[in-house]
Amino acid sequence: MTAALLSTKSSRESGVAYVEIGSPAARIDKPDAIKPRKARLTEANWDLFRLFLAVAKTGSVNRAAKELAMSQPTVSRRMKELERHVGAPLFFRIPSGVKLTEEGEALRLSAKGLMQSFEAFYRDMSLHVGDRSFAIKISATEGVTKHWLLPRVAKLRALNGHIRIDINSSVQQQNLASSDLDFVIRVGHPGDDELIGRKVATVAFGIFASESYLAEHPAPKTVADLANHEIIGSSADFGGLHSQRTGGMGLLTSFEAAGDAKGSLRVMPIANHFAAAGAGLGLAFVAVPFALAEGLVRVLPDESTLMDIWLLRRRETDLRKLTRQVRRFLESELTQSRSWFAGQQVVRKSLPRLA
């Protein structure tokens, strides 16, 4: 059997090992042939293909290294790494640099299509990511949305001319962990352990009525007097408040007892309690700042229930620059609004004086 004359050279130009056949007549008998190992391209770093295409395009490791702003030894080492993954030589040396082997040319065609597909995917993904980066999604209760958040939308828009604000307003507080929200302004217990945030304020709840109702029904002077009034809402409506309380739940307990004893008007969602009270249908247990903004009159002003307000988010949202800006804005605005949430407005609507 004629032995194959094989020699291996290492090119200073490329730093890649090349296999040369010493004689045109040289043959390798099939029984002794070296079977190529199965290429495992999935193990190769994506960056190897980018470097490979640069060498193939320039025809020189040195020129590719300069184009890539890398050192020649680094590019050579990465090409050797790719050859190990492919299981075949990809270049052979020529006076002007390097040229692709048959395997190298096949890889170039495949890698070129692969990189073009990846670049198209990256462009599409960048457009989508860029579009989402300008969207700010906030969930808040209807009262917080109407009386606090919406009046600050103009300031939010001033943060960035491309900002898109998406507000989900619902009496059912959204679960940020299982939805694509950026922020939740939550009244009560912060809930989800995987979320981060801070308590930013405390909101006061009290009992309110319309002027027209109080003109026909003397305002209660004590909590016990609630039993003599029409009550909006029942104990079933306020179950969530009991589980999220901060303090002063005696008022709510007495309010519920009065409604259960005499009968009450139940209207859902709870946000409609403001409208029911405004229509003169009875007393409502609602958030103090929102009720005052609706023009309702507070009774038993020394009695209140307190609940915490939390600004919550996912930790991952901090990766977006605009989201970080909005977080700082919301934290600042909520902190500055503490006295307002506590019902300490300078202008109050008080009980009408009795003649």
pTM equals 0.62
pLDDT tens, position by position, 161-178: 889 999 988 755 555 555
CATH topology of domain 6-129: Arc Repressor Mutant, subunit A (1.10.10)
- For the segment 53-85, what is each residue's pLDDT rounded down to a tens digit? 899 999 999 999 999 999 999 999 999 999 988
- What pLDDT shows up at residue 225? 92
Give residue 102's identity as a one-letter amino acid code.
E
Strand partners, 164: 135
Q: What is the pLDDT of residue 3?
A: 35
Half-sphere exposure of 76 (CA within 13 A, CB side): 19
- At residue 178, the pLDDT reads 56
Among 341, 313, 309, 345, residue whose Cα is nearest residue 327: 313
Domain spans of the chain, in order of start? 6-129, 138-341
Task: Tell which CATH architecture fits domain 138-341.
Answer: 3-Layer(aba) Sandwich (3.40)
Question: What token pair was written down for 95?
Answer: 């006076």
Q: Which residues of the chain have pLDDT under 50?
A: 1-39, 41-43, 242-243, 245, 346-355
- Tell me if residue 237 falls in helix, strand or coil: helix
**What is residue 17's predicted lDDT score, i.e. its pLDDT?**
37
Cis omega (within 30 of 0) for bond into 269: yes
| Beta strand segments in 90-209, E | 91-94, 97-100, 135-140, 164-169, 183-187, 196-209
| Strands 135-140 and 164-169, sheet pairing | parallel
> Does residue 342 contact residue 308 with C-beta atoms inside 8 Å?
no
Domain 6-129 shares a fold with domain 138-341:
no
